Amino acid sequence: MTVARPVPGSRAPAGQVRVDCHLHTAASGDAVLTIEQLAERARQAGLDAVCVTDHNLTSAAVAAAEAWARGELGVRVIVGEEVRTPSGDVIGLFLTERIPYVLPLAEVVARIKDQGGLVYVPHPFDPVRSSIGRVLPALCAEGSVDVIEVFNAKIEDQAYNDKAAAVAAEFGIPAAVGSDAHDADGVGAAYLDLPDFDGPASFRAALAHAQLAGEHRPHAIRYPRGPR
């Protein structure tokens, strides 16, 4: 799968939007990115939308989405959550309710889908993160996975990203990319240019036409995660 390098100062082509599908704010407990910094860096990176996927909570994402809806934030916010399960981390996108962490993976998947959200699998084969690569093929086979992250900008060894791309191709799962930013410098290290969308179904459909861009960016030291 071809992933181009980000082009500084560029914008999505006409009729398309640019999206960073995976990033964290200070609410995650292991990040330092404020909503104000996010909005400014998104503007600089030419992003039109971001998926705020804090660890095990949605409060900051909801607040940012509401600020965007009021015209107070210059980037559209998709509410997400990176949820810890005993099998590894999984992201829910387009959520309306927070999902508790350390529930069984199958229950988390069910709760995401019950909200009409998308099951997005981040960094599935990264050995230094809590990843679900071991069970990913079975999840794909049963139709539980909506999107696979085939490029994560914090992964130095691209073989792990390539392995994720191979699974996505094998099962015909839409591919996406994410910066996994935990600080301002990481925002926009990976993004998609794709047709505009107005919800989870049209977003998933638009992924078939997405152009992927990303670069390894060793941003944000791994801050200790705060108490939950």
Report yes or no on 193 lying in a domain.
no
Tens-place pLDDT, residues 77-122: 999 999 999 999 999 999 999 999 989 999 999 999 999 999 999 9
Please tell me the predicted confidence (pLDDT) of residue 13: 96
Contacts of residue 178, Cβ cutoff 8 Å, sequence gap at least 6: 20, 21, 22, 23, 51, 53, 122, 149, 151, 152, 153, 190
Report yes or no on 148 lying in a domain.
yes
- What CATH number does residue 71 fall under? 3.20.20.140
Report yes or no on 46 lying in a domain.
yes
Number of domains in the chain: 1
Report yes or no on 43 lying in a domain.
yes
Domain residues for the domain of 96 are 16-183
Report yes or no on 74 lying in a domain.
yes
Does the pTM surpass 0.85? The reply is: yes
